[in-house]
Chains A and B, each alone.
Chain A
Amino acid sequence: MAAFYSKALNLKAFRAVQSHLRLFCDAPKFPGAKTTWTQTLKISEAKQEDNLPVYRVLDKQGVVIDSSHEPKLSSEVLRKMYKSMTLLNQMDNILYESQRQGRISFYMTNYGEEAVQIGSIAALNNDDLVFAQYREAGVLVYRGAPIDFFMNQCYGNNLDVGRGKQMPVHYGNKDLHFVTLSSPLTTQLPQASGAAYAFKRAKNGKVVITYFGDGAASEGDFHAALNFAATLECPVIFFCRNNGYAISTPTHEQYRGDGIASRAPGYGMGAIRCDGNDLLAVYNTVKLARKYCSENNKPILVEAMTYRVGHHSTSDDSTAYRPKEEISMWSTESPVGKFRRYLETKGLWSEEEEKSWAKDVRKQILDAFNKAEKVPKPAWKEMFEGVYKDLTPALKEQVKEMESHLKSYGAHYPLDNFK
């Protein structure tokens, strides 16, 4: 009898083990995915309740919601952040106007995205490499680019480090580790992946951050960049400024998924979505993102939700495609104002200082502006430089040709404005 029962028990145990083994060993063995079987047929669809929430530290009034999330920043740093945001605003005011007056050919403002730019760059090391799109001048402001730097580039004068080669706002600064911008969108993303890979191999401890907008994220280069960064394990932060518009195209015409952050799992990457109008949230987010990238040598996708208060550029009048009320609502919700209230509650800023700083910074900007306007453009021969490291025989001949032409027809060219 005992023998019978022990046999039965053994059989049950055996069956249990067998069924566990089946579950374990019977998993699909396809090389393409690591997953389980199902006998249920259904369409897998994303639900809105699963949308990634927006991380914030400050509420609408600029009050810290959870003090454990308040970053421990020194008063110097906090004031530098605020001053950078306001300097950026003032510079935008003056340069936008100067385009309207025909003094520079083109400009793009940063209104509404001050916290996105300054909050993110403040969380990185000074030598982390930046690949930007075009609405990130605040990154350079925070890193210490003098006002002259911006003015000279916009005027394309002889002091422009870019040597007058590109339209205004196409900044580049080697000392500040900011790769020169280009107009084609999103091309910087796979480049950022490559640079990060090179840094990883060089073991120099640097990470790369690359900025792009909600529209730019539709380009093929976005897909290429994230897929490469994930498969090749590159320490790069993909930072999306989701500001609601790509010129006139609103986000609901740009994508159907849950913003940009939701694409990360598709690449096997992590993502964080934050309130781009909350400087402290952006700061904390990028601080964590940098730690993650640098410790794991893996990429990460950050999506900062914000709003483009200004027009796309001086060639755009956004009232043509969005209501004035929408613009003024977001203008009032200003990240600069929110951060200012936060500083004031900490006793780090005041109405008095606001007035004197505004006056001071406006003067600084106007001085730099007037100075830059008077600097001549680079010598016309520089047009031929930088195509290659050295001029080719063909280019040398073309220089001679133009030289000879100018000897006879120079009066018809604006030579007086050039060095």
Chain B
Amino acid sequence: MARAITRKFYFLLSRPQFARHAVSARAIHFVYQPDTAKPPVSGETIKQNMFMAINSAIHSALEKDDSAIIFGEDVAFGGVFRCTLGLKDKFGADRVFNTPLCEQGIAGFGIGAAAAGATAIAEMQFADYMFPAFDQIVNEAAKYRYRSGGLFDCGKLTIRSPCSAVGHGAVYHSQSPEAYFAHTPGLKVVVPRGPIAAKGLLLSCIRDPDPCIFLEPKVLYRTAEEMVPKTEYFIPLGKAQVLTPGNQVTLVGWGTQVHVLLEVAKMAKEQLKVSCEVIDLQTILPWDKDTVCQSVKKTGRVIVAHEAPLTCGFGAELAATIQQECFLNLEAPVTRVTGFDTPFPHIFEPFYLPTKWRCLEAVKKIVNF
């Protein structure tokens, strides 16, 4: 009965009249490009959007591991983005529960539960609100194993949080904070580009022996739909994925921006006759230097794109390492197309984001350097 109602709900959401409303008042800047390659595991698949795929991953973790718990603000009724829908009924209120409204508490509680042997999945309602938990995450979680000489660790902790632009989120519902956490040895930071990636990467994070931060681009929760394998599967952390092979320009991104870059690659091919290789970094920390540099050594030109502001955005780390490793192969300086050095604006979002037009222009400039 519950499933029939849920299906009807999803069905209604996908109706054009809802989509029309979505486009008019809350425009999004990209077209989602579903994975068409062979799925990471064989077997039956099911059409899912990203919140459903994430729900599946959490469901799987709770089913296979009795110690697993998921908690955060509004998690019990299903979560503000439906990622935990139905889980409390299935696994019980002691495993799927609300916490008081306190991110530092959520993080601290999660660290302690993990250190005491429970698989702890903590939800932070928006990445923009992770900052009260910054001390717990950076000073505690990241350093737990190191500072104790390996006696204690909170590897069983995974913190998941919706991030990035959603069309209308403005200052406090659009941030991409990966750079802050990437600067912290001891953490792993992961950003999926869609449902298939989300399920496999989240399962890897939950299983990973180190504390992980899983940032979920919220605009993809409903927009991104793919045929997701029903079974459990794990996409390895620390590995980037080449999505579109090419030989003239390397385009590196993560999360939502991957779809912008995929479109840019198409446009570059059609309009500029330029062949672009698109790489989804997937794991921000530790990042896959080999895959990126291998590509750059081939193409000699690289553009890194991310929504987060330019200065000290993660693109800076990529640029520094790429120029270090591939200096003699570079035909042009490493280019970054990013959000501007401003807080994330509301009404100016269309001008703020690293749009396909700014990326295309960067491709044009880099091939003509």
Chain A residues packing against B (C-beta within 8 Å):
129, 131, 160-166, 170, 172-174, 179-180, 182, 184, 187, 189-199, 201-202, 208, 220-221, 223-225, 227-228, 231-232, 385-389, 392-394
Contacts and interface: CB of A to CB of B under 8 A. Distances in A.
Closest 10 CB pairs of A and B: A190-B108, A194-B112, A191-B112, A224-B105, A163-B149, A180-B148, A195-B116, A194-B113, A194-B109, A198-B118
Interface stretch (B25-33, B151-159, B259-267): B151-159
A201 B67 contact: yes
B34 interface: no
B115 A195 contact: yes
A9 to B, nearest CB: 52
A228 B105 contact: yes
Interface of B: 67, 69, 94-95, 97, 99-100, 102, 104-105, 107-118, 120, 132, 135-136, 139-140, 143-153, 155, 185-186, 188, 209-210, 238, 286, 289-290
A173 to B, nearest CB: 7
A24 to B, nearest CB: 30
23 contacts: A162-B148, A162-B151, A163-B149, A165-B148, A174-B151, A179-B148, A184-B139, A190-B104, A191-B109, A191-B115, A194-B108, A194-B110, A194-B112, A194-B115, A195-B113, A198-B118, A202-B118, A224-B108, A227-B102, A231-B99, A386-B149, A389-B209, A393-B290
A170 B140 contact: no
Contacts of A165: 146-149
Contacts of A179: 115, 148, 152
B255 to A, nearest CB: 21
Given A228-B102, A387-B146, A190 B139 contact: no
A223 to B, nearest CB: 8
A11 to B, nearest CB: 49
Contact of B147 (A182, A197, A202, A388): A182
Contacts of B289: 393-394
Contacts of A232: 97, 99, 109
A202 B97 CA distance: 17
Given A165-B146, A194-B116, A388-B186, A189 B108 contact: yes
Contacts of A224: 100, 102, 104-105, 108-109
Contacts of B135: 184, 187, 221
A389 B210 contact: yes
A227 B147 contact: no
A96 B107 CA distance: 36
B31 to A, nearest CB: 34
Contacts of B97: 232
Contacts of B144: 180
Contacts of A190: 104-105, 107-109, 111-112, 136
Given A170-B147, A228-B102, A193 B140 contact: no
Given A194-B110, A387-B186, A393-B289, A225 B105 contact: yes
A180 B110 CA distance: 17
A197 B118 CA distance: 9
B3 to A, nearest CB: 28
A196 B188 CA distance: 26
Contact of B155 (A193, A231, A389, A393): A389
A389 B153 contact: yes
Contacts of B136: 187, 190, 221
Contacts of A189: 108
Contacts of B210: 388-389
Given A165-B149, A228-B102, A201 B94 contact: yes
A309 B280 CA distance: 59
A198 B116 contact: yes
Contacts of B104: 190, 220-221, 224
Contacts of A180: 144, 147-149, 151-152
Contacts of B67: 198, 201-202
Given A174-B152, A198-B117, A394-B286, A191 B145 contact: no
A63 B143 CA distance: 47
A197 B99 contact: no
Nearest to B209: A389
A220 B133 CA distance: 11
A387 B140 CA distance: 12
Nearest to A397: B289
Given A189-B108, A193-B112, A201-B94, A228 B100 contact: yes
A402 to B, nearest CB: 15
Contacts of A184: 135, 139-140
A184 B152 CA distance: 17
Contacts of B188: 388
Contacts of B155: 389
Nearest to B288: A393
A117 to B, nearest CB: 21
A162 B144 CA distance: 11
A131 B109 CA distance: 13
Given A187-B108, A191-B108, A220-B104, A201 B69 contact: yes
Contacts of B185: 387
A386 to B, nearest CB: 4
A172 B238 contact: no
Given A162-B151, A190-B112, A194-B110, A389 B132 contact: no
Nearest to B143: A182
A388 B283 CA distance: 15
Contacts of A225: 105, 108
A233 to B, nearest CB: 10
B205 to A, nearest CB: 13
Contacts of A164: 149
A115 to B, nearest CB: 27
Contacts of A231: 99-100
A195 B140 CA distance: 14
A136 to B, nearest CB: 16
A173 B152 CA distance: 9
A191 B140 contact: yes
A161 B115 contact: no
Given A172-B152, A189-B108, A220-B132, A166 B99 contact: no
A162 to B, nearest CB: 4
B219 to A, nearest CB: 30
A263 to B, nearest CB: 15
